[in-house]
Amino acid sequence: MDNAFFTKSVARNIFFGGSVFFFLLFLVLTFDTTRKLPKTDFRENLTPAVVSGKHIWETNNCIGCHTLLGEGAYFAPELGNVYTRRGEAFIKVWMKAMPTDAPGRRQMPQFNLTEQQLDDLVAFLKWTSEIDTQGWPPNIEG
């Protein structure tokens, strides 16, 4: 086979041409992504109760078992849309009833949260459920 066609200058042209092509492709995809991102401000409706609820979420390491908007551990259900699916009353009763001691089920520990802490945690989960995730995570039941 004759390698006369594949010279150093052809290899250099392929390299630079490919580099320019992929750099331009990167710019086009970046522009397209930023154009399609929702124009929302996540600080909207950020009340002191929501901030306190997030602090409770973090200090009790809820993300160690649960996912929130698809991020976290997969040991327990997704909670990004739990407020929409279950509502405030259910969340509070569920938290107070833990652990249920149901055989064969994973058990959530009892965190002994006060009524105010439960209200703040529910406010945080409500705020989270209002974020436009554009269908993510795909499993609505968690």
Sequence ranges of the domains in the chain: 1-37, 48-129
Question: 124 falls in which pLDDT band (50, 70, 90)?
Answer: very high
Res 17: pLDDT? 95
In this structure, of 29-33, 40-44, 105-109, the range with the lowest mean pLDDT score is 40-44
Specify the 3-state DSSP secondary structure of 68: strand
Q: What's the pTM value of the predicted model, to 2 decimals? A: 0.73
Q: Return the residue matching tokens 């908007």.
A: 69
Count of CA atoms in the C-beta half-sphere (13 A) of 80: 20
The pLDDT tens digits of the residues spanning 1-35 come to 556 788 899 999 999 999 999 999 999 999 998 88
- What is the mean pLDDT of the segment spanning 109-134? 93
Is the CATH code 1.10.760.10 the one for domain 48-129?
A: yes
* Whole-angstrom distance, CA of residue 134 vs CA of residue 37: 10
